[in-house]
C-alpha cells in the first residue's frame, strides 16, 4: 500500500508539472482531488490494510492529500490571475463627474458684501443675537412707546426676573456695543442674524440676515455716506447702476434716508421685479443721531457718523432676480445648484 501511495505521489507531481493553464488545473483537480479521484480511491482501500500498518498508511495518505491540495491552490492562484486576452480597462470610457458642495447663496452674498466693504477700510464686527431692550431699542433712541417694541414685532425671551430680554430685531445694537467699547474713528460693518415676529411669506421671513455699517469720526458727512454706498452698489449690483436717496425716518439717524437703485432687470423702464417703478429699495441709512452718540459716550459736538443697514436675503434676491425669499431656506438642490 505504501508503494502504491508513493507511485501516486510521483504521478501527481508529473501531472502538476504539466499544468499550464486554468483548464488543465481544473482537470488536475478532477483527476486527483474529488470524491471519485485517485486519492479518495486509496482512502477507500485503507480498510484492506492490516491493523498494525493502518496508522502509518493513513498518515502517508493524509500527507499526500495535503500536498496535492497545496499544489492545486498554487496553480489556481497562478492561472486565475493571468492577464486576460483583452485589456480590462476601457480607457475610452468618459470620466465620472464628482459632485461637490459650495457656499450657500446667502453666504456668498454676505462674503461679497464683506469683501467690498473691507476693501474700503471697514472692519467686521459681530454681537449677540439675544439682546436686551437697552441695546436693541433704548440706546438707539426708540421712544418707550415706539410700536417696534410691541409684542407684535419683537420676540421676547422668557427669563426669570427680567422682562427686557429679546431676540434682536436688527443689527443696530452692535453699533451701540462698538461705540461703547471703542473710541472713534470707528469704521465697521456688522453682519448677522435678526428676528422679527412676522408671518412668513414670499417677501418676508421671521428670521433673516442684515449687514449694518457704521463710520464715526471727526467731520463725517452725508456726502461721504452717499459716496460709500454708491461705490458699494456699483461693486455689488453692477457698474451701470444708478441710485437715489429718498427721505425716511429711523429713530437712530437724523437725517434718515432709504436708498434705491435702478432696477437692473428692466434698466429703469419698469417691470415685474420693480413693480413698474424702475427703482428697487436696497437699504436704510442716515447720519447717527446726536442722542445716540451721546448715549454711547461720544461727544456729538466733536464727532459725527453715518450708519446704514440692509437685508442680505433681499440683496441677494434682487441680484439674482428671485421672487420668493423662502427659496433660500428650502434646501432644494435644484435651486442651490444654480449659484
3-state secondary structure at position 105? helix
How buried is residue 332: exposed, middle or buried, by Cβ count under 10 Å (0-12/13-18/19+)?
exposed
278, 294 Cβ separation under 8 angstroms:
no
- Residue 146: what are its φ and ψ, rounded to 5°? -60, 135
Residue nearest to ligand PHE (CB): 309
Site for ligand PHE in 226-245 (CB under 6 A): none
309 counts as binding ligand PHE under rule CB under 6 A: yes
Q: Which is nearer to ligand PHE, 79 or 230 (CB)?
A: 230
CB 313 within 8 Å of CB 277: no
Closer CB to ligand PHE, 25 or 292, in the complex = 292
Residue nearer to ligand PHE on the CB measure, 65 or 289: 289
Closest among 308, 136, 118 to 216, alpha carbons compared: 308
Q: Say whether residue 284 binds ligand PHE (CB under 6 A).
A: yes
Q: Scan residues 28-57 and list those touching ligand PHE (CB under 6 A).
A: none
In the complex, the smallest distance separating the C-beta of residue 99 from ligand PHE, rounded to whole angstroms, is 38
Q: At what angle do helices 105-119 and 222-237 cross, to 10 degrees?
A: 140
Q: How many residues bind ligand PHE (CB under 6 A)?
A: 11
What whole-number distance in Å separates Cα of residue 178 and Cα of residue 296?
9
Residue closer to ligand PHE by CB (options 251, 268) is: 251
- Residue 250 contacts residue 172 (beta carbons within 8 Å): no
Residue from the set 133, 212, 260, 313 that interacts with ligand PHE by CB under 6 A = 212
Could you give the angle at the alpha carbon of 161 between the alpha carbons of 152 and 180, nearest 5°? Answer: 75
C-alpha span between 88 and 23 (Å, rounded) = 21
Q: How far is the CB of 174 from ligand PHE (least distance, A)?
A: 10
Cell numbers for 64, please give them.
499526500
| Placement of cell 456695543 in the chain | 177
DSSP tag of 183: P
Q: Which of 71, 136, 253, 262 binds ligand PHE (CB under 6 A)?
A: 253
Residues 46 and 61: beta-carbon distance below 8 Å = yes
Q: Is 131 an interacting residue with respect to ligand PHE (CB under 6 A)?
A: no
Nearer to ligand PHE, 263 or 310 (CB): 310
225's grid cell: 455716506
- Per-residue burial over 198-212, b if 16 or more Cβ lie within 10 Å, else e, is eeeeeeebeebbbbb
- Look up residue 323 and give its three cell numbers: 421672487
**Nearest to ligand PHE of 71, 256 (CB atom):** 256
Binding mask 60-89 for ligand PHE (x = CB under 6 A): ------------------------------
Distance (Å, whole) CA 255 – CA 253:
6
172 scored as a contact of ligand PHE (CB under 6 A): yes
**Binding of ligand PHE by 286 (CB under 6 A):** yes
Q: Is residue 250 within the footprint of ligand PHE (CB under 6 A)?
A: yes
Q: Does 170 bind ligand PHE (CB under 6 A)?
A: yes
Query: Contact region for ligand PHE (CB under 6 A) — 21-29, 104-112, 281-289, 295-303?
Result: 281-289
Residues in 289-308 at the binding interface with ligand PHE, rule: CB under 6 A: 307-308
**Least gap, CB of 250 to ligand PHE (angstroms):** 5
- The one among 68, 261, 285, 298 contacting ligand PHE by CB under 6 A: 285
Binding-site ranges for ligand PHE (CB under 6 A) = 170, 172, 212, 250, 253, 284-286, 307-309
Amino acid at each position: 500500500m505504501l508503494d502504491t501511495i508513493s507511485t501516486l505521489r510521483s504521478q501527481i507531481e508529473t501531472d502538476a508539472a504539466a499544468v499550464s493553464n486554468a483548464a488543465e488545473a481544473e482537470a488536475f483537480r478532477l483527476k486527483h482531488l474529488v470524491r471519485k479521484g485517485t486519492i479518495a480511491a486509496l482512502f477507500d482501500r485503507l480498510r484492506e490494510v492490516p491493523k498494525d500498518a493502518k496508522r502509518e498508511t493513513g498518515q502517508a495518505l493524509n500527507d499526500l492529500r495535503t500536498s496535492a491540495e497545496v499544489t492545486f491552490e498554487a496553480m489556481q492562484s497562478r492561472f486565475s490571475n493571468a492577464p486576460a486576452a483583452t485589456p480590462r480597462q476601457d480607457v475610452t470610457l468618459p470620466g465620472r463627474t464628482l459632485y461637490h458642495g459650495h457656499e450657500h447663496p446667502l453666504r456668498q452674498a454676505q462674503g461679497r458684501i464683506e469683501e467690498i466693504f473691507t476693501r474700503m477700510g471697514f472692519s467686521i464686527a459681530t454681537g449677540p443675537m439675544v439682546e436686551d431692550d437697552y441695546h436693541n431699542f433704548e440706546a438707539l433712541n426708540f421712544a418707550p412707546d415706539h410700536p417696534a417694541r410691541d409684542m407684535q414685532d419683537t420676540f421676547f425671551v422668557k427669563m426669570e426676573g427680567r422682562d427686557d430680554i429679546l431676540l434682536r430685531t436688527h443689527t443696530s445694537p452692535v453699533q451701540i456695543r462698538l461705540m461703547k467699547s471703542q473710541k472713534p474713528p470707528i469704521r465697521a460693518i456688522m453682519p448677522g442674524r435678526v428676528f422679527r415676529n412676522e408671518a412668513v411669506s414670499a417677501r418676508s421671513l421671521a428670521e433673516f440676515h442684515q449687514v449694518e455699517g457704521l463710520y464715526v469720526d471727526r467731520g463725517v458727512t452725508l456726502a461721504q455716506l452717499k459716496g460709500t454706498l454708491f461705490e458699494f452698489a456699483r461693486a455689488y449690483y453692477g457698474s451701470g447702476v444708478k441710485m437715489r436717496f429718498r427721505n425716511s425716518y429711523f429713530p437712530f439717524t437724523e437725517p434718515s434716508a432709504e436708498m434705491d437703485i435702478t432696477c437692473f432687470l428692466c434698466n429703469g423702464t419698469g417691470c415685474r421685479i420693480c413693480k413698474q417703478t424702475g427703482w428697487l429699495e436696497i437699504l436704510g441709512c442716515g447720519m447717527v443721531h446726536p442722542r445716540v452718540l451721546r448715549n454711547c459716550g461720544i461727544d456729538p459736538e466733536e464727532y459725527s457718523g453715518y450708519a446704514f443697514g440692509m437685508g442680505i436675503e433681499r440683496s441677494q434676491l434682487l441680484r439674482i432676480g428671485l421672487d420668493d425669499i423662502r427659496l433660500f431656506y428650502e434646501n432644494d438642490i435644484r435651486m442651490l445648484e444654480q449659484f
